[in-house]
Amino acid sequence: MNAVLDYIERNKKRFVDELCQYLRFPSVSAQPDHRADMAACAEWLAGHCRALGLEARVCPTAGHPVVVAGTRRAGRPHYVVYGHYDVQPAEPFELWKSPPFEPRLEGRSVFARGACDNKGQNLAHIKAVEAYLKTNTELPCDLTFVIEGEEEVGSGNLQAFLQANRRELACRAVVISDTGMPDLKHPALTYALRGILACEVTLRGPSRDLHSGIFGGSVDNPAMALCQMLAQLRDKKGRVNIPGFYDDVARLSAYERAEAARIPQTAAQYRKFLGVPRLFGESGYTFVERRSARPTVEINGLTSGYQGEGSKTIVPSSATAKLTFRLVPNQDPERVRKLVLRRLKELCPPTVKMEVRAGHGAEPYIVSPTSPLAQAALRTLREAFGHEPILMREGGSIPIVTQFKKVLRADSLLLGLSLPDDNAHSPNEKFSLDCFEGGIRMGALLWRELAKL
């Protein structure tokens, strides 16, 4: 083990250079213009794994390819390591201090789109395995990396990929670093994720934009109608205002609430960090619980009418909103989709036509935080970061985790390396080099602990 940890210490500078190479690919899965960049990034990653001595291939899917890289199979306990090489769109570009795909080192951080979500985190696991392979240290486990290219758009093609490869991927558990930790003194094991349901609502009014002086008042305004509808999806107290929405929501146990209270941040610090005049949310829950264990509705995008400089006096012909609902155990995205549709139909006035396009959906995920697997993870975190780890629920979603359970019958071990101020999905995304190095050590120590189970 010392040889492995020494290797990591000696090579950490180069690891950062390699992370920067990885970050240079604008692998934005949502934007068709980046198709070729996606393929190039997948090829680079597979090539990189091969150079370390892993067997690697780029597997085509109906969407972006999946990179599969594995150690020689030697009958040791087999684990899958999952991650994603796709990133969120970098817009708005003007808010970046340096271009999003030209990684910049400043202090102990590297800034680039995808730095924490998720390239830095999955590369940490790859570097840990490199340390074993390059020091001829026997890995205690057989490992298969599955690094996909569609996580940020809902992982729509990965389920079929898992089905088709389920013999090869059969494993004891899936290890994922794609979540967060509160700070370096509180490494975290995440035991629950929220699910998600996305949809796009368009209201159509007049067949063209109209002069608002000549026609306004005699015809409904789709932007106004949409705002009135959306405003009724949530009440003043932050509860989703859709009949039946809360029917299946599981209550938080006293144990979970106590764990959530250990997170080292006060509401006042959190408010300041977000730059809001006051926090918001469902009464009866702390901000930690609200953002991780309670369901929500959010408007992610809202478009209508004239968006350029100055004014333009029109009644717009249409208005569109992109919505997502975050779901918690035991809500079912399919059932919620029906409830949402019914509510939207009920709210839509007869003066406009409504179209609702369903987007991606993912089920919420929860796993025992006290299993032997979780205990092994907690031991590893303690050793890698030198601090007592905490148990967390996270509000984000990783759509494929419930499929790992269904198709591979494998639980996911969520060992997040991202910090709250890493700006995931925001301008100036970064990854802390301390998290990167700690993550590589964690990756190295983990296999010894997991092999013992």
| Binding site residues, ligand BES, CB under 6 A | 117-118, 151-152, 154, 178-180, 193, 196, 360, 362, 394, 396-399
The CB density around residue 246, as the number of other CB atoms within 10 Å, is 13
DSSP, collapsed to helix, strand or coil, labels residue 211 as strand
> Identity (one letter) of the amino acid at 279?
L
Structure tokens at 315: 């009644």
Q: Which is nearer to ligand BES, 144 or 190 (CB)?
A: 190
Cα gap 273→294, rounded to integer Å? 21
Under a CB-based contact definition with an 8 Å cutoff, are residues 56 and 69 in contact? yes
> Identity (one letter) of the amino acid at 180?
G
The distance of closest approach from Cβ of residue 87 to ligand BES in the complex, given in angstroms and rounded to an integer, is: 9
Tell me which residue has its CB nearest to Zn ion: 117
Cα gap 348→352, rounded to integer Å? 8
Residues 6+ apart with CB under 8 A from 208: 317
Structure tokens at 289: 């619980």
> Residue 118, preceding bond cis, omega within 30 degrees?
yes
The distance of closest approach from Cβ of residue 307 to Zn ion in the complex, given in angstroms and rounded to an integer, is: 26
Cα gap 68→409, rounded to integer Å? 19
Tell me which residue has its CB nearest to ligand BES: 396
Interaction partner, residue 196 (ligand BES, Zn ion, none; CB < 5-8 Å by kind):
ligand BES
Q: Which is nearer to ligand BES, 4 or 417 (CB)?
A: 417
Stretch that binds Zn ion, among 6-14, 117-125, 295-303, 330-338 (CB under 5 A): 117-125
Contact map string, positions 58 to 97, toward Zn ion, x by CB under 5 A? ----------------------------------------
Is 150 one of the binding residues for Zn ion (CB under 5 A)?
Answer: no
Interaction partner, residue 256 (Zn ion, ligand BES, none; CB < 5-8 Å by kind):
none
Cα gap 450→452, rounded to integer Å? 5
Q: Which is nearer to Zn ion, 363 or 394 (CB)?
A: 394
Is 117 one of the binding residues for Zn ion (CB under 5 A)?
Answer: yes
Q: Which is nearer to ligand BES, 144 or 155 (CB)?
A: 155
Q: Which is nearer to ligand BES, 178 or 429 (CB)?
A: 178
The b-or-e profile of 143-171 (16+ CB within 10 A means b, else e) is bbbbbbbbbbbbbebbbebbeebeeebeb
Q: Which is nearer to ligand BES, 314 or 392 (CB)?
A: 392
Under a CB-based contact definition with an 8 Å cutoff, are residues 423 and 430 in contact? yes
Interaction partner, residue 422 (ligand BES, Zn ion, none; CB < 5-8 Å by kind):
none
Interaction partner, residue 361 (Zn ion, ligand BES, none; CB < 5-8 Å by kind):
none
The DSSP letter of residue 154 is T
Q: Which is nearer to Zn ion, 117 or 422 (CB)?
A: 117
Stretch that binds Zn ion, among 70-78, 114-122, 183-191, 285-293 (CB under 5 A): 114-122
The distance of closest approach from Cβ of residue 152 to Zn ion in the complex, given in angstroms and rounded to an integer, is: 5
Structure tokens at 77: 């306990």
Positions touching Zn ion (CB under 5 A) are 117
